Amino acid sequence: MRLSSTVLFVLLIQRTLAYPAISGEIQRERRIVGGELARVEQVPHLVNIRLNRYFHCGGSLVTSRCVLTAAHCIGHNSPNDFVVRGGNTLLSDVGNWRTIEQVFVPPEYNNRTFEHDVAIMRLNTKLQGVNIKPIAIGDFALAQGEYVTVSGWGLTHEHAALPPNHMHTVRLRVLEQAQCKAFYDDYRNVTDTMFCASVPGEKDACLADSGGPAVARGRLVGVVSWGKGRECGRADSPGVYVRLNMVKKWIMSVLYKHC
């Protein structure tokens, strides 16, 4: 049976309102490919960040009052433009949200090189409830070959048009730093504050995972930062993450004063 254009339009609007698509602000410096379904009980620190009502980026609750995400997820937007939702497995879940009172970005952040690509959002009130729990930030250096777990609502393949409604998670291997730099030699500089992680050609972060957590040994060790264009899951373009032990001093100074 064929549907009329009017019916198709209504169905599309209903789907969009159920779990808003990626905001148009950043079309792939936000980056789960090859992952599996997960529930918020497994990652109670994971939050989804909305920009003007639309799903925009991932983030991690690091205190009951503050969320760590990527600086490029903030852009030139006002704190009033954002809402954070926690304790949700599905993007269509609408409970437990907070507005943003203040945003902090390190002075070293560069929106071209993505150096120090982290930001802290101070919520208007504490985010607490069932399946909501802050995660501690690791201060150790990741070893080559070590695995990190990345979670979020990013695209499940690079040609997808909409993020999945259901949270996904994936285990990725930390690549050797020289190899990481070589992959992006003609694209962007990979600095010591960054690391690459993937299972080359199989598993990766993707569009809309940006700002989300990379976890190892039960600690938050990375933030999803950037990749090459819309390429996800390819052997020669692994996801690039902020190495949190290298920027932890700034993070902790903000948490101590404001969170």
pLDDT in tens, 40-83: 999 999 999 999 989 999 999 999 999 999 999 999 999 999 99
Given the residues 23, 60, 198, 210, the one annotated as active site = 210
Give the pLDDT mean for 97-107. 97
Contact 128, 240 (CB under 8 A): no
- Tell me the domains of the chain and their CATH numbers: 40-134+248-258 (2.40.10.10), 135-246 (2.40.10.10)
Q: Which pLDDT band holds residue 246 (cuts at 50, 70, 90)?
A: very high
pLDDT at 12 over 50: no
Q: Is 198 a catalytic residue?
A: no
What is the per-residue pLDDT across 140-149, written as a single tens digit (0 to 9) for each?
999 999 999 9
Given the residues 45, 72, 116, 168, the one annotated as active site = 72
Task: Tell which wins on pLDDT, 2 or 133.
Answer: 133
Least confident of 69-78, 159-168, 198-207, 211-220: 198-207
Q: Which pLDDT band holds residue 196 (cuts at 50, 70, 90)?
A: very high
Percentages helix, strand, coil for the chain (3-state, rounded to 5) are 15, 30, 50
pLDDT confidence of residue 209? 75
Least confident of 47-56, 104-113, 114-123, 236-245: 236-245
pTM score: 0.86
pLDDT confidence of residue 10? 30
Q: Is 72 a catalytic residue?
A: yes
Given the residues 81, 117, 204, 209, the one annotated as active site = 117
Q: Which residues have CB under 8 Å from 180's CB, separation 6+?
A: 190, 194, 195, 196, 238, 240
Instruction: Report the distance separating Cα 179 and Cα 182, nearest Å.
Output: 5
pLDDT at 166 over 90: no
Q: Is 5 a catalytic residue?
A: no
